[in-house]
Structure 1
């Protein structure tokens, strides 16, 4: 749901124009940015199993800190508080906290039942959209396209340079998504964490 999450970030600009797109992206992807750190620390785990779902070979064994529902609520509240302390923008802090939690809701749509409600619970949920390649591409593509459309209309970009920069970003993100869909699976678990950490550079 990479571009789906970013689509939510694009769309959120309509709620508070004062928040930078980078900050919106950071909130929408925050738990996926946190996850590789926890992987490297050995606090969460993943395995490469080809065919685990049609879309991804990753079998998410355990990620209660970053991806349980309660965990994501905690990270959303924390993100909102930190933003409020820095910017004194209550509307923006609520928006960013909600955007962090939106990540879990979108993951609920795509993941097979591997998302815990609570870190200590064995009960897992997931609607399994990733079991349909076409369905995944359509749904994620529509969310991304809608977010891009909303952002473009709200921001009313005027200068040619800003328009070129905007569409270059959109094309780049779409290209990354396509390469991720059709690229080979990672050779081992460690590169997954390293690639995940590289998202920090993209968001920054």
Structure 2
């Protein structure tokens, strides 16, 4: 497997590859070096995949029928933990059999090209491992969110108001329904359905998304 540096993907040393999850951070405070080596090799695997995703000569997928894929993968759940070298190998296997949705020749629904800056942001937020509940738990991200939402409101001409980020269209539609219900029947929040006179209905066209 070629890496971005043109060399093969480095392997874990045996001293680290034979360790288990409880021999690195956060279980071992003296395991900074071992933790760094393991994560560095994981990043190498991911960078190799990024290179393949952007290589027009690479296939989008080596398709296998479900029965064949089951045989190619070891999906059983062991009772005992696996060593780090096996976890790293499993990462390679998972990506090898994955659809390269960021490939220039991939034209299926929903997915688009892999944006490297967004990928870096995903890695950063995963490492931060926080939640966007309050300023106290995520001060930087809360301020960033406010700035982004204010900019988005200004783009459609709103000078005031409030906003919320949603993970997709379906949840966005749900939020819209809930907001409309609350606007029409604010008492629902405290008293529930019994406070609404009659049955709420929703009218849609025959082209509505049925998911």
- The question of a shared fold, defined as TM-score above 0.5 by the shorter chain, is answered with no
Instruction: State TM-score, norm by structure 1.
Output: 0.23
* Greater share of residues in helix: 1
* Bigger Rg, structure 1 or 2: 2
In terms of fraction of residues, the more strand-rich structure is 1
TM-score calculated relative to the size of structure 2: 0.23
Relative contact order higher in (CA < 8 Å, ≥ 6 apart): 1
